[in-house]
Amino acid sequence: RDMDKVMPQLEAMAKAGLPLAVHGEVTDDDIDIFDREKRFIDTVLDPLRRRLPELRVVMEHITTADAVAYVGAADRNLGATITVHHLMITRNHILAGGIRPHYYCLPVAKRSTHRDALIAAAISGDARYFMGTDSAPHPESGKLSACGCAGIYTAPVAMGCLAQVFEQENSLDQLESFVSLNGARYYGLPEHPAKITLIRHDEPLAPMPAIEADGENVTVFDPMQPVYWSVAPDGDAIA
């Protein structure tokens, strides 16, 4: 929290052009969990970027309209990743009608107005926004407990879910940029030569069953809405 302690390292990163990838939340006990991201922008990130404007920063898995607006207003050196699940769920998925631990993640999902801002950013074609799944498989013993783990296992269904979101927004033409191109360009990496094929099915797909690992089940993300898309069998899903 005291940036002076790591300022020499941050200055070296800025000089080398090495991006700072950061989970942007302030987690003090007196800060509401739904306000952590905005507090981080206001009290940590913005002062840091004013002090060290040449530092390239990636805000990992943003969840708020505030973060979308902050990235959108930046003239340079700022990008943000957006997860699959934050494009599809809100805090109601976690809390309404009973506690649903498999939708609990950090940063926690917010209200629908924030989700809508994330969707608008993802489909915009703005190269500063790109996918970061933050896929987090936890065994059910870690999720279904009095103090469960944060994280949603989206990797096996990520591309199908993203295609569904982009189709609903009439923006399938922006899917490749969001998934494959924008992030690589921000990091100065070449375009990946591998390709996958997405298939649109006539009927919605059944939720993927849990995956067994080390004798325990790991629940795969179910967006609680119809998904018609999947990766073709000869294509590779996200690892």
Mark whether 75 is an active-site residue: no
Which helix or strand (DSSP H or E) is residue 230 part of?
A: strand 229-231
Domain 3-231 adopts which CATH fold?
TIM Barrel (3.20.20)
**What residues contact 31, with CB distance under 8 A and at least 6 apart?**
39
Residue 147 CA to residue 140 CA, distance in Å, equals: 12
3-13: pLDDT as tens digits: 889 999 999 99
47-56: pLDDT as tens digits: 999 999 999 9
Whether residue 22 has pLDDT greater than 70: yes
Whether residue 231 has pLDDT greater than 60: yes
Q: Which member of 134, 214, 222, 236 is catalytic?
A: 134
The pLDDT assigned to 238 comes to: 46
46-84: pLDDT as tens digits: 999 999 999 999 999 999 999 999 999 998 899 999 999
Mean pLDDT score of the chain: 96
Which helix or strand (DSSP H or E) is residue 212 part of?
A: strand 211-213
- Ranges of H-type helices in 77-214: 91-95, 112-122, 140-143, 158-168, 175-176, 182-186
pTM of the model: 0.95
The pLDDT assigned to 82 comes to: 99
Q: How far is CA 112 from CA 60, 86, 89, 90, 115, in A?
A: 20, 10, 8, 6, 5
Beta strands in 51-192 (DSSP E): 57-60, 78-82, 129-131
| Cβ neighbours of 160 (radius 10 Å) | 22
Q: Which residue reads 């399938």 in tokens?
A: 172
148-171: pLDDT as tens digits: 999 999 999 999 999 999 999 999
In single-letter form, the type of residue at position 24 comes to G
Which two tokens mark 46? 């913005």
97-137: pLDDT as tens digits: 999 999 999 999 999 999 999 999 999 999 999 999 999 99
In single-letter form, the type of residue at position 235 comes to G
Whether residue 1 has pLDDT greater than 90: no
Domain ranges of the chain: 3-231
Residue 20 CA to residue 180 CA, distance in Å, equals: 20
